Amino acid sequence: MKAKLKTEKKALSPVSSMASSNYTKRRSFSRPSWLLCTVADLDEKMNKVAFKIPGKGSPDSFAERADAYYQKRPQLMALLQELYNSYVSLADRYCQALAKNRNHRRYSSPIPPLSYNENGYCDEEEYSGEIIDSDAESSLSFQPSFPPSTQDKFDIEMIVADLVIRNVDYDFVLDELNQVERQNNESSRKIELQKSLLDVMESERLILLNENARLGYKVATLMEENKAVSSESLFMKRKVAELAGCILKMREDHRVCMLSRKIEDLQGQIYGLEKEQRVL
């Protein structure tokens, strides 16, 4: 589609040069007052905006650059906007006038005018309302009927005007196609990035699932070991209680044994004393 539009644009370039030559031929005709005022106004603005282009060897100061950027550049943008809007309105009115002379209506969609902001970017404004002044309406409405011999010339001029308007329309379509293509490229890049992020997140999710399963298995084994350790601790507590009972019993037996020995010693001492008393 873009290649087709570019080839049509190249084919229309000689037609635009033909239109400019027709315009130079018509400059010798009488001009109305409103056209003279408009041309004088444009000449005055061009004289205000005109500035010298520095050569390669000439010095360029910062003040000159600042003046060219902050003063000359907005004036140039405003002048270009006015020239473009005037060109579009003039082409539209020319087509309407030729359509009136041929006694049939041809609807020509108006091209929206361009507006430039302070940064130099162009913005499209809504083309609403008629921009034809009273002098232009009077000069266009009051036109003498042309003989049939000049009908072919008007047909060619009308075709040239239509081709110029289509060329401008092709420029707008190409710009819109470029913007749509850039948006599609950006959206495709975003989609690819999101797909890569989804793949990374899916791999992380699988890793976390495996880690969760491993931790669950480890927790189950630890719980089983804890149960075994708790049962062993209960068995050890029982054994300790039994050993404590045995130790207490052994201590009691030892005491009984010691007491029995002391009793036997005392009985032997008593028996010896009794034996001595008998001898005496």
pLDDT digits (tens, 9 = 90+) for 126-135: 443 343 344 4
Predicted confidence (pLDDT) per residue in 195-206, tens digit: 999 999 999 999
> What residue ranges in 75-140 does DSSP mark as E strands?
114-116, 122-124
- Inside any domain, residue 64: yes
- Inside any domain, residue 279: no
- The sign of the dihedral angle between the CA atoms of 172, 177, 182, 187 is positive
- Inside any domain, residue 131: yes
Q: Is the pLDDT of residue 223 over 90?
A: yes
- Inside any domain, residue 216: no
- The sign of the dihedral angle between the CA atoms of 13, 14, 19, 23 is positive
Least confident of 59-63, 171-175, 181-185: 59-63
Contact (CB, 8 A) for 174 and 2:
yes
Which domain, by its residues, includes 133?
Answer: 2-199
Question: Kind and range of the H or E element at 266?
Answer: helix 151-279
Residue 124's pLDDT band, with cuts at 50, 70 and 90, is very low
Residue 18's pLDDT band, with cuts at 50, 70 and 90, is very low
- The sign of the dihedral angle between the CA atoms of 92, 94, 96, 99 is negative
Amino acid sitting at position 207: I
- Inside any domain, residue 223: no
Predicted confidence (pLDDT) per residue in 56-80, tens digit: 555 566 676 676 666 677 777 777 7
Contact (CB, 8 A) for 1 and 170:
no
- Inside any domain, residue 107: yes
Question: In this structure, what token pair is assigned to residue 4?
Answer: 């087709």
Predicted confidence (pLDDT) per residue in 94-109, tens digit: 777 766 666 444 444 4
pLDDT of residue 160: 74
Residue 209's pLDDT band, with cuts at 50, 70 and 90, is very high
Name beta bridge partners: 116: 122
pLDDT of residue 162: 77
Q: How many domains does the chain have?
A: 1
- Inside any domain, residue 138: yes
Contact (CB, 8 A) for 17 and 165:
no
